[in-house]
Structure 1
Amino acid sequence: MKQIFRSKTAFVLGWVWLAFVALNVWDLIARYTGKPSLVALAVLAVLTSLVYAIALRPATVFTEEGLLGRNPFRNTFVPWAAIDDVSVSHAIAVRHGDEQVLRLWTPMSSARERAKAQRRGMVPERRGRFQTEPTLPKAEQAAAEAFAGRTHADWVGDQIRERAEKARLRDETAAPVRATWSWDSIVFVAATVVLFVGVVAFG
């Protein structure tokens, strides 16, 4: 079963940008003024290609066979049995092979998100005889402390680690790691840049 993890914020903002571009394209066509309109359309095309590559395309994909890291301009597939270690800081780093490291573009954990996660696990102080907040049961308090400081990226990192360990326990043969260029992103960005240069130079 395939599981896909993305940055929700980047994904939503990417679609908001597409809606903004659609409205502007309609307005520029309706009020066409020659070269200025063409230049504006070309600028929107370049920015949209970058938004696609950076915000909409990146994903971390779990398949039955392994982990697919879909970064802006690169696809890397690592079989579960080939994963040696996983660490999480700002981004998830997956170590495999001869000290090779795959840094996943998403999900990432910002300092703000980590601080928010840390606060979630803090138990409110008891002030005075009359408490304004209910006291958590011991089980819920233990769960909150266990998850203190843990972000979505930490959780995904744990899932990768668990799947890699299960693959090793099954004594699976590590298939080769495959890395390929993301030609859709490359062609899209290159085409829009060429379009922009052409419009500015010859439009």
Structure 2
Amino acid sequence: MTSPTPPAEPVYADRTFRSPAGIVGGVLLLLLIFWIGGDAAIRGHGRVPWLALAGMLTSVPLVVAFTLRPVVSAGDRRIRIRNPFRTITMPWTEVADLRAGYSSELFTEGGAKYQLWAVPVSLRQRKKAARQQSRRSLDDPYDRTSAQADVRDTRARTASADQTLADLRELAERARTAGAGAAAGATESSVSVRWAYEVIAPAVVGAVLLAVLFATG
């Protein structure tokens, strides 16, 4: 008689963190570039269409890289950081700390540091959250609110970058407690870094074309 197969561990979808303001800004910039560059390429004379096309080839990948591309994907076993020009993947066991000063940063056990472009720090939001916390402490000095309401209120009074890093720290701690990071480390390399050549190559080609056109003009 065969022994029953143990139930498989539940697999949860990765949580993704992006900057809504960056996405909106990137879309608006792309629309502006295509509007101005497309008009110059179609209606321009002489070298103007070539300059417009070279400028678009340079600027579009850079705008996409810095606004639409950044994202942080966090699962039970690993974290994946997609920055403008690199994608870093590592198991949670390699993560030593997550901090948000003037920018969001991840520190590895080996001492490396990676910025989280998808989690921008807003000093204005942080000051606003501090004022709300100070106002709440004056309104309720004895902390008489319920625990559930207090959790919701705390999240509302926390800057978005600080709250995102708190969520990531919680995922990291949960992975260490469950031992999921050790399982990932047995099947994956410690830290994987891949350069985004699909972004770098067209931007470099466009910059070279612009330099050639200006030099021969």
Q: TM > 0.5 between the two?
A: yes
Task: Check if 1:78 corresponds to 2:86.
Answer: no
CA distance in 1, matches of 2:73, 2:213: 38
Other-structure match for 1:162: 170
TM value normalised by structure 1 = 0.81
Q: Secondary structure at the match of 2:102?
A: coil
For these two proteins, the number of residue pairs brought into alignment is 193
* Cα RMSD after superposing both structures: 2.6
Mapped pair 1:108 → 2:120: yes
1:138 corresponds in structure 2 to 145
Task: State how far apart, in whole Å, the 2-side matches of 1:61 and 1:187 are.
Answer: 25
Relative to structure 1, the CA distance from residue 164 to residue 50 in structure 2 (aligned partners, 3 Å threshold; closer, same or farther) is same
- Local SS of the residue matching 2:204: helix
Residues 1:30 and 2:42 are matched in the alignment: yes
Consecutive unaligned residues of structure 2, counting only runs of 5 or more, are 1-12
Deviations 1:27-86 (A, max 9, x none): 223312111332233223322222112112111112343111111111111212222222
1:144: Cα distance to partner?
7.1
1:14: how far off? 0.7
Q: What corresponds to 2:66 in structure 1?
A: 54
Q: Could you give the per-residue CA deviations for residues 89-138 of structure 1, whole angstroms, max 9, x where no partner exists?
A: 22222222222222211211121121122234334988xxxxxxxxxx83
Contact 2:19 2:118 in 1 (8 A): yes
TM-score (normalizing by structure 2): 0.76
CA distance in 2, matches of 1:77, 1:101: 13
Give the unaligned 5+ runs of structure 1: 127-136
1:16 shift after superposition? 0.8
Pick the structure with more helix per residue. Answer: 2
Tell me whether 27-36 or 67-76 shows the greater mean CA deviation. 27-36
Q: Deviations 1:140-190 (Å, cap 9, x if unpaired)?
A: 884576347621111221122112112211234135111121212211221
Q: Which residue of 1 aligns with 2:130?
A: 118
**Letter of the 1:101 counterpart:** K
Matched residues in 2 for 1:115 and 1:144: separation? 19
- CA distance in 2: counterparts of 1:162 and 1:89, whole angstroms: 19
